[in-house]
């Protein structure tokens, strides 16, 4: 047994039933084993034991009233994971699957991701099991107000700065921020992903998807290749997916799929800019289903989700690259094998932890360029960090300025992961490189702060 495997056992026993959290911790600890020997000072200071434990987890009741006057109660969460390098930072997820284990997995990942961005941000995550689907704007607003009625006392521009995630986009951030201002009488950068009219940053909505494509381009660059002409499988049709598709088009690639929780479309002719505009209108304004894409465009075929299959047909098409941009564990072992069999040479994860451990093994064994979420999707939180900077300065950078900074950051994240993988004797192993680079930064800050 080793320090990291003993610790993983302890995490499993002391956090029972939190399977996604166990998975996230296992993925990180496995890659940290070589640091144990190189950094006895981390071992002596109990850094490994401390880093898996959140600073605090806040659980609260969110009571709200629907349009018919019925009272509902949802669960609210904010896990403030680690503040070693900056204020807690990370999104809010509103989805019926949300539970403490999922928020802890996301918060834990966020600690390392934020460290990689080169910006001073700690890690946190929050959310609720509230399902915004099918709710009126009024119901979403009242829910957001009820959520903020409790959350406001735990957050602040120098303490904890939430943002969006699944089910939390511009509309929800508007309601959350509106209510925070009302009860605190304070216009401050306490949330990111705000509208441009009230303190948001240009390129924030685009940042996660753009960043994931920039990261893919960096990985290809190490092989002397580019995205030009490459066929890309994309999942999801929300924020991350939409801007992944947009940047793929900018760089000359051909996106051919996207999905929602009902099913996916495969468009052999490619999703072009006009079709992307249709998806954006469908998802962001009409809040419709991706099936309607195939009703409109005859070049596309819609396939409904069939969970009895044990794999996702979306990943079973000839392509060069894959951009999972929907949710956790959407690529299992069989999906990963299908990607390999179909010629996919690169995966860049827009979503958080979209590949299962068995799937990652297949990917690594087949020497696929594998940009794990912590590195590849860090562009979103990086531009959130830039939004915080602009709020503090009371100044706004132009679109070009923010995009240039985002590109710089994605390049830096790539080189930190790549160079660290080299330094640890496994060049091109991005999970190893990214986890160790992110961990080392946080661990050094924790060491400097003493035992707190």
**Residues recognised as catalytic:** 125
**Across 131-216, where does the E strand assignment appear?**
160-163
Count residues binding ligand NDP (CB under 6 A). Answer: 23
CA distances, 23 to each of 161, 214, 311 (Å) = 26, 27, 19
Among positions 164, 189, 199, 255, the unique one binding ligand NDP when judged by CB under 6 A:
164
Q: 269: helix, coil or strand?
A: coil
**DSSP structure string for 51-107:** HTS-SEEEEEEEEEE-TTS-EEEEEEEEEEEE-SSSSEEEEEEE-TT--HHHHHHHH
Query: What φ, ψ does residue 440 adopt, rounded to 5°?
Result: -60, -40
CB atoms within 10 A of CB 134: 7
Give the nearest distance from C-beta 94 to ligand NDP in angstroms.
8
Q: Smaller CB distance to ligand NDP: residue 164 or 199?
A: 164
Angle at 236 between CA 116 and CA 385, to 5 degrees: 30
Among 221, 261, 392, 398, binds ligand NDP (CB under 6 A): 261
Q: Is 199 in the site for ligand NDP (CB under 6 A)?
A: no
* 332 near ligand NDP, rule: CB under 6 A: no
350 is an interface residue for ligand NDP by CB under 6 A: yes
Indicate the burial class of 228 (C-beta count within 10 angstroms; 0-12, 13-18, 19 or more). exposed
326 lies in the site for ligand NDP, by CB under 6 A = yes
Of the candidates 31, 82, 327, 435, which one interacts with ligand NDP according to CB under 6 A? 327
What's the closest the beta carbon of residue 45 comes to ligand NDP, in angstroms?
Answer: 30
Question: Smallest distance, Å, CB 325 to ligand NDP?
Answer: 6
Nearer to ligand NDP, 226 or 329 (CB): 329
Name the minimum Å distance from CB 417 to ligand NDP. 16
Q: How many CB atoms lie within 10 A of CB 343?
A: 12
Q: Which residue has the tokens 């392509």?
A: 319
d(C-alpha 432, C-alpha 236), whole Å:
27
Our CB check for ligand NDP shows the closer of 31 and 355 to be: 355
For residue 19, the minimal CB distance to ligand NDP (Å) is: 15
Contact 352, 373 (CB under 8 A): yes
* Closer residue to ligand NDP, CB minimum distance, 355 or 429: 355
Applying CB under 6 A, does 165 fall inside the site for ligand NDP?
Answer: yes
80 makes contact with ligand NDP (CB under 6 A):
no
| Listed ranges 51-59, 69-77, 260-268, 396-404: which one lies at the site for ligand NDP (CB under 6 A) | 260-268
The reply to whether 355 sits near ligand NDP by the rule CB under 6 A is: no
Determine, following the binding rule CB under 6 A, whether residue 167 of this chain makes contact with ligand NDP: yes
Report yes or no: 82 and 122 within 8 Å, Cβ to Cβ: yes
The footprint of ligand NDP on residues 200-259 (CB under 6 A) is 208, 236-241
User: Of the ranges 66-74, 149-157, 159-167, 419-427, which one interacts with ligand NDP (CB under 6 A)?
Assistant: 159-167
Q: Which of 325, 356, 420, 440 is the binder for ligand NDP (CB under 6 A)?
A: 325
The answer to whether 323 and 350 are in contact (CB under 8 A) is: yes
Beta strands at 231-234 and 71-82: parallel, antiparallel or unpaired:
unpaired
Is residue 351 within the footprint of ligand NDP (CB under 6 A)? Answer: yes
Residue 440 half-sphere exposure toward CB, CA atoms < 13 A: 21
Nearer to ligand NDP, 7 or 119 (CB): 119
Question: In the set 51, 115, 166, 216, which binds ligand NDP (CB under 6 A)?
Answer: 166
Angle at alpha carbon of residue 167, lines to 162 and 171, rounded to 5°: 75
For residue 70, what are its two tokens? Answer: 């019925």
| Token code pair at residue 106 | 């996301």
Residue 375 binding ligand NDP, by CB under 6 A = no
Q: Whole-angstrom Cα distance, residue 341 to residue 26?
A: 27
* Beta strand residue intervals within 350-438, DSSP E: 369-371
Minimal distance in Å, beta carbon 370 to ligand NDP? 16
Q: Provide the 3-class DSSP secondary structure of residue 288.
A: coil
Measured from the CB of residue 262, what is the shortest distance to ligand NDP in angstroms?
6
Binding status of residue 14 toward ligand NDP by CB under 6 A: no
CB of 203 to ligand NDP, least distance (A): 11
Binding positions for ligand NDP, rule: CB under 6 A: 164-167, 169, 208, 236-241, 260-262, 325-327, 350-352, 377, 380
């Amino acid at each position: 047994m080793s320090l990291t495997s003993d610790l993983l056992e302890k995490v499993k026993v002391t956090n029972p039933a939190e399977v996604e959290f166990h998975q996230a911790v296992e993925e990180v600890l496995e890659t940290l084993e070589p640091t144990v020997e190189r950094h006895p000072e981390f071992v002596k200071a109990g850094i490994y034991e401390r880093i898996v434990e959140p600073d605090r987890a806040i659980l609260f009741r969110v009571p709200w009233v629907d349009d018919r006057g019925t009272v509902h109660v949802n669960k609210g969460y904010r896990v403030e994971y680690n503040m070693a390098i900056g204020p807690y930072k990370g999104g809010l997820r509103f989805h019926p699957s949300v539970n403490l284990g999922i928020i802890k997995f996301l918060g834990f990942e966020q600690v390392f991701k934020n460290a990689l961005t080169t910006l001073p941000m700690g890690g946190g995550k929050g959310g609720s099991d509230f399902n915004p689907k099918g709710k009126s704007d009024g119901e979403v607003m009242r829910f957001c107000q009820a959520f903020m009625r409790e959350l406001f006392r735990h957050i602040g521009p120098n303490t904890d700065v939430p943002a969006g995630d699944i089910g939390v986009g511009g509309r929800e951030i508007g309601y959350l921020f509106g209510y925070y201002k009302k009860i605190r009488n304070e216009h401050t950068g306490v949330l990111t992903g705000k509208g441009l009219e009230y303190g948001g940053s240009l390129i924030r909505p685009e940042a996660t998807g753009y960043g994931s494509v920039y990261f893919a381009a960096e990985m290809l660059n190490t092989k002397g290749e580019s995205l030009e002409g490459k066929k890309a499988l994309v999942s999801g049709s929300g924020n991350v997916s939409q801007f992944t598709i947009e940047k793929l088009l900018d760089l000359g690639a051909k996106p051919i799929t996207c999905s929602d929780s009902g099913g996916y479309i495969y468009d052999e002719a490619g999703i072009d800019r006009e079709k992307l505009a249709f998806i954006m209108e469908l998802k962001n304004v009409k809040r419709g289903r991706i099936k309607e894409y195939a009703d409109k465009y005859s070049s596309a075929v819609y396939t409904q989700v069939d969970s009895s299959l044990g794999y996702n047909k979306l990943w079973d098409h000839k392509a060069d690259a894959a951009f999972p941009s929907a949710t956790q564990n959407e690529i299992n072992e069989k999906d990963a094998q299908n990607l390999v069999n179909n010629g996919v040479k690169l995966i860049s994860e827009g979503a958080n932890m979209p590949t299962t451990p068995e799937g990652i093994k297949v990917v690594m064994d087949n020497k696929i360029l594998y940009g794990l979420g912590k590195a590849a999707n860090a562009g979103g939180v990086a531009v959130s960090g830039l939004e915080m900077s602009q709020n503090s300065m009371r100044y706004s950078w132009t679109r070009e300025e923010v995009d240039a900074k985002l590109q710089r950051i994605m390049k830096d994240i790539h080189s930190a992961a790549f160079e660290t993988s080299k330094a640890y004797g496994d060049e091109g192993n991005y999970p190893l490189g990214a986890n160790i680079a992110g961990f080392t930064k946080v661990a050094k800050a924790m060491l400097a702060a003493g035992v707190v």
